[in-house]
A and B are shown apart, each in its own frame.
Chain A
Amino acid sequence: MWMLENAFLIPLIPALSFAVILFFGKRFIGADRVHVIGITAVSLIWVLSLVAAFQWTQRVEHPSPDAIAQISADGHGDDHADDGDDHAGAAMDSESGHGGGHSSVLISPVVTTYSKWWSNGGVDFAVGTHVDGLTVLLLVVVASISLLVHIYSTEYVKGDRRYVHYYAFLSLFTAAMLFFVMAQNIVQLVVGWELVGVCSFGLIGHWWEEKPNTDAALKAFLTNRVGDIGLLVGMIVLWGTFGTFSIDGINAAISASPGTQHLALLVAACCLMAAVASKSGQFPLHTWLPDAMAGPTPVSALIHAATMVVAGVYMIARLYPVFYDGFSIGTSSINLMALIGGFTALMGAGLAFAQWDIKKVLAYSTVSQLGYMVMALGVGAWTAAIFHLFTHAFFKACLFLGAGSVSHAAHHTFDMRKMGGLKKFMPQTYWTFVIATLALSGIFPFAGFWSKDEILLGAKVGQQNGYPLMLIFGCAVAFMTAAYMTRVVWYTFHGEYRGHGHPHESPKVMTVPLWILAGMAVVGGAFNLPGPVLEPFGLEGLAHRVQTYAEPSVYLSGLGLSHPDPSLSMALIGLGLALSGIIVTYLYFWRKMGPHGLTERNKYAKAGYTFLENKYYLDYLYNDIIVASIKKPIANGANWFNQNVLDKAVNTAGESARDSGRWIYKWIDQGAIDGSVNAAARGADASGEGLRTIQSGKVQNYGQLLFGAAAVLAIVFVIVI
């Protein structure tokens, strides 16, 4: 279990790599070869995270005797109080356990390793690692995708004006994300949360010469900061309520006596929800995410699709008892989190129809899928959400990198109207993109099918009550997702090439990562197959691996979290919706081509550019007549709302803050406050000016005054006496 106890090495390595690249990269390695350091470091942590994952599975399957003893004693070890010594590195392993929530598999307790970081007024702040199944799962995801993005970027950003900074920031981001994932306490969560935000800022604004990029970067950072108010306040409320910063301590305290701190937890959960909304692109703070596509595409794949944006989802999962209790997920049939998640999923999917920029479609798709995850957590389907996080990371990264590959080939445009027909130029990109699309759409047997199915099932069954509204949202989104992704595939890869120049397949260094990700999109679902699927093959032992290894039953069992039984009918409904989405879209595009029969491609080749325009005209009409009545009002309405209400509100808030700042500065600061200071000085000045006329400098005037005054005084004296 060495790796689990020394997990601090994992974020340390990319952090060192960051420092080396930034300070020595240019001078000692050469500006165009710094990726060697980055890739070495990330490969290293990839191996380490796999080792950690393996050791964790071993730990779950073969719990150490003392852990069993703790579990059978059904006591939560009082594990943190005795860290008195303050010399750094005095790490200690503390284990905590709770009664086995699962009947068949013993859940091994969390491994926390920490030492005192700083203390203030008798409160100790620790720095350390908190390793359990969830952590390990995220470690693998982050390390894998980061590694692939590092490799992919060597080609994609080759010759960039800031190659060194690009790799330095990638390393820093990886370090920050891993630090966040392994946070032992909520202060570390806050630290990691902010650090990934800064990396995101730096990478969105990577090409800072152009104003739109820096605007997008600023918007991302500031929107996240708005959420951070919630994060800070929520974390402080948690600390104030439970008197500890330790994640383990907070979770254990809630699961030991659920319901006793309901009000505080409700406040904390609402506050933290704001943070989740900003980081994970949930309504109404999602507007930064599509703009964030201004960054380099590999960055979008890594940060704004697979890892950083799931930080919010991860935080909910990490502190799940807080939300479970705070939002009464177990007993309600609708709650804030499920509602926000469900609505975001629906809204994002609707917006994805209205976009012409391929990255923006994917960005809205990410918003929608993140909403799916949040909704899943909101209905109590913890495992389903995390499983979806896992599968989504791979196929969405694949889609983004595929989009990058397309743009690399097609003259650096992301406008789908300038693409089309790329299938024959870049078959590898095409096939990986299609596989990832099928996975995202949720087609059997690709990864997304299994995870989406579990979410729908979770929404249907719920905990004590089902979540019918969420089920409707989920089903609608399943249909829409398949539809808009088919549209993207159509516009990008089918039809005639509408751009200029000669598109070409990307080199191997870009396609190999695509194939690896596509492979994961195919087999990713195997990590949490339901039991009945495996029974015919006699492999029941491999069912529900994510649930077995990742779910922290240690805490969740205290809350009474249950798992729905697999349901064939639900799976068929979900699959049917996705397939119908694809079929409808396919028919739509196909029927538009109807008059031209089977020689579709040849006709295009012959008809040339005018034909293409014609197609656009038809396309528009078709949309107008058939689909517009349903699609356009919703999507455009959402888009309008998005651009004119929410986005405008954000902008207006900024502007009015600036205006009120100006106003206050002008009238109160300079006018009233500073004015009164100056007025006092002027008053003194004026009285002095008045008095100086008396000061004639003539002795006799002074004498007259003196005697006059003496005379007056004498008269007064006489009268008074």
Chain B
Amino acid sequence: MEATGFDAWVLTLAVFLPLVGALIMMVVPKAYELEVKLIALGSSLAALAVGIYILFQFDYGSASELQFVVDKGWIDIINSRYIIGLDGLSLPLLLLSLLVVPLCLVYSWNHVPSPGNTKAFFVLLLILSTGMNGSFISQDMILFFVFFEIVLLPMYFLIGVWGGEERRYASLKFFLYTLFGSALMIISFLALFFLSKDAAGNPLQTFDMRLLTDAAGSGIVKTTQVWIFAGLFIGFGIKVPMFPFHTWLPDAHTQAPTVGSVILAAVLLKLGTYGFIRIAIPFLPEAAVAWAPWIGLLAVIGIIYGALGCLAQKDMKRLIAFSSVAHMGFVMLGIATLTDFGLNAAVFGMVAHGLITGMLFFVAGSIKERYHTLEISRLGGLLKSAPHMGWILGFATMASLGLPGLAGFWGEFPAILSAYNPGAGLSEELFRTYMVIAAIGTVLAAGYLLWLYQRTAFGEPTEEFADHEIPDVSRNEWIAWVPFLIGIVLFGVWPNLIFNLTDGVVSSITANVEAVVAGR
């Protein structure tokens, strides 16, 4: 069912408006700085406006079906088509991505990190935006792959040019590590292209995700499925990042400029988990069942391991980065259960983590800007020096440790809950053990986050900064942060906003998995 009229264009607009903005900016001379910034903000806001239009036009009654579908020829020779569409799974992530970019632009309006060059910085952010938006709506594997890779390049430059002292090392590590994953991923894509058969047993030879979802791995023997899944697993697992593929993350986060970290945490990591839910599990349900116990194991190791890593950190940004490993562990645990309950929790966890950790990185960046250090032992008394910022940090900390009534809880609690009853013939005993370990992880989470908060915000400012004037939250920071704060509270109080959207999609995925597993 293809969209017609204006609706056929909305998704394309949402994806490419930032790119158009970036192209226009390139021809405007660097001297016209204000104009350049306004074009950047305007184009990203226009994309956001389209997103809001989608929000109103979206048919919530059939959130499980793709809407605003466009299916046009693209690269005919390899049977790859320009297929885009949006369902309840993509919608929250697309909106998150659309929202984050203008806020990042506002945040760095007058504070483009050294070595400056606002124009280039903003252009890269807009290109990044196109890549992220496109990934969430592509329904063709090659198209998805292209967007997935487009994301890498601007991020590489953002880290490598505007990053901290060890930016070269971090950016290169980020780029190579994810590229390595992508290489395995494209091999798996090709294997799917060549091996998938339709119900009648004819080779499909398609990159169309809709067809591959329907095929659900039919015609591929189980061992092959498991190998194909392994490629996808590494590709997406690096992006998530799952233990033990996470080591690029702390470096990238620590060295990246503030908005880079925010986008990395808020959106980029979600590409991995989104890939699992959108591609890996529905395409290869049998392999997913075979892999699920291992994914669950790595997830709970990640939860405990990330938390322990946090306890050892001396740098605030690095600590938050490690906490991402732990939080994404909860998301992956939800996915590993292969239940609709767990997958819903995972999507919720993705959005919640995006908002909360994004917020934490914003605050960390602002602290860095004021104190010129993020070494925890040198900080202290933030509540006294900059009370509003201290409160916001406290709020984000509480949200991050999973306080009920804020968004983090509804990603964490249902994920733990879902492990009690894993789906599709998975071992109950095993997953219940995971459940208990994950529950222990929540204690450690509270430990490292509150310890961080105690050392940075409580007490008196350290002698080093006792005489410094620390400005409180600025106007631009308020503009950038308030939507995050509202989102954290809103989703915390009314979790159905997201569960309602995703429920239909994930139930059809898990129903498919159950059917395939039962049928063979």
Contacts and interface: CB of A to CB of B under 8 A. Distances in A.
A647 interface: no
B458 A205 contact: yes
Contacts of B496: 86, 116-119
B305, B308, B398: most-surrounded residue (chain A CB, <10 A): B308
Given A222-B447, A222-B450, A118 B499 contact: yes
Contacts of A86: 496
Contacts of B173: 677
A81 interface: no
Contacts of B417: 236, 239
A629 interface: no
B403 interface: yes
A123 interface: yes
Contact of A237 (B420, B446, B457, B503): B420
B403 A194 contact: yes
B443 A225 contact: yes
Nearest to B421: A240
B305 to A, nearest CB: 7
B144 interface: no
B454 A121 contact: no
A237 B439 CA distance: 13
A120 B405 contact: no
Contacts of A606: none
A229 B247 contact: no
A119 B247 CA distance: 36
Given A122-B340, A225-B442, A233-B439, A214 B454 contact: yes
B344 interface: yes
Given A195-B403, A214-B459, A240 B420 contact: yes
A631 to B, nearest CB: 36
A208 interface: yes
A120 B345 contact: yes
Nearest to A215: B454
A178 to B, nearest CB: 14
Interface stretch (B109-117, B153-161, B309-317, B479-487): B309-317
B7 interface: no
A191 B440 CA distance: 18
B383 interface: yes
Contacts of A666: 312
B472 interface: no
B340 A121 contact: yes
B503 A228 contact: no
A120 B308 contact: no
Interface in A199-223: 201, 205, 208-211, 214-215, 218, 221-222
Contacts of A240: 420-421
B312 A662 contact: yes
B6 to A, nearest CB: 30
B309 A665 contact: yes
B64 to A, nearest CB: 13
A237 B419 CA distance: 11
A120 B247 CA distance: 33
Interface in A625-684: 654, 657-658, 660-662, 664-666, 669, 673-674, 677, 681
B308 A665 contact: yes
B303 interface: no
B308 A198 contact: no
Contacts of B416: 232, 236
Interface in B386-420: 398, 403-405, 409-410, 413-414, 416-418, 420
A226 interface: yes
B341 A225 contact: no
A36 interface: no
Bin the interface of chain A by size.
35 or more
A120 B414 contact: yes
Contact of B435 (A190, A198, A233): A233
B381, B440, B446: most-surrounded residue (chain A CB, <10 A): B446
A225, A660, A681: most-surrounded residue (chain B CB, <10 A): A225
A123 B495 CA distance: 13
A673 B414 contact: no
Interface string A60-77: 000000000000000000
Nearest to A22: B391
Contacts of B176: 681
A630 B311 CA distance: 44
A563 to B, nearest CB: 37
A215 B308 CA distance: 20
A122 B308 CA distance: 35
A657 B311 contact: yes
A198 B404 CA distance: 10
A198 B420 CA distance: 27
A165 B410 CA distance: 27
Nearest to B441: A229
Nearest to B495: A118
Contacts of B507: 121-122
Nearest to B401: A225
B315 to A, nearest CB: 12
A198 B398 contact: yes
A665 B176 CA distance: 22
Given A120-B414, A677-B177, A214 B439 contact: no
Given A119-B499, A120-B499, A665 B413 contact: no
Contacts of A195: 403-405
A208 B339 contact: no
Interface in A117-164: 117-123
Nearest to B404: A191
B444 interface: yes
B339, B404, B496: most-surrounded residue (chain A CB, <10 A): B404
Given A119-B499, A195-B403, A665 B446 contact: no
Contacts of B381: 209
B244 interface: yes
B368 interface: no
B436 interface: yes
Contacts of A661: 307-312
B490 to A, nearest CB: 13
A232 B405 contact: no
Contact of A229 (B418, B442, B494): B442
B308 A190 contact: no
Contacts of B247: 669, 673-674, 677
A232 B435 CA distance: 10
Interface string B482-514: 000000000000111001100100110010000
Contacts of A654: 447
Nearest to A235: B417
Given A209-B459, A214-B454, A673-B247, A657 B308 contact: yes
B478 interface: no
A191 B418 CA distance: 18
Nearest to B322: A665
Given A120-B344, A121-B344, A190 B413 contact: yes
A214 B454 CA distance: 7
B313 to A, nearest CB: 8
11 contacts: A117-B495, A118-B410, A121-B339, A121-B503, A209-B458, A209-B460, A228-B443, A657-B444, A658-B311, A677-B177, A681-B176
By Cβ-Cβ distance, the 10 closest A-B pairs, closest first, are A121-B340, A661-B308, A191-B404, A121-B341, A118-B496, A661-B311, A662-B312, A661-B312, A208-B458, A665-B312
Given A120-B345, A121-B510, 12 more contacts: A120-B340, A120-B503, A121-B507, A191-B405, A194-B404, A209-B384, A214-B454, A222-B446, A225-B443, A233-B435, A660-B308, A665-B313
Interface of B: 173, 176-177, 244, 247, 305, 307-313, 339-345, 381, 383-384, 398, 403-405, 409-410, 413-414, 416-418, 420-421, 435-436, 439-440, 442-444, 446-447, 450-451, 454, 457-460, 494-496, 499-500, 503, 506-507, 510
Interface of A: 86, 116-123, 187, 190-191, 194-195, 198, 201, 205, 208-211, 214-215, 218, 221-222, 225-226, 228-229, 232-233, 236-237, 239-240, 654, 657-658, 660-662, 664-666, 669, 673-674, 677, 681
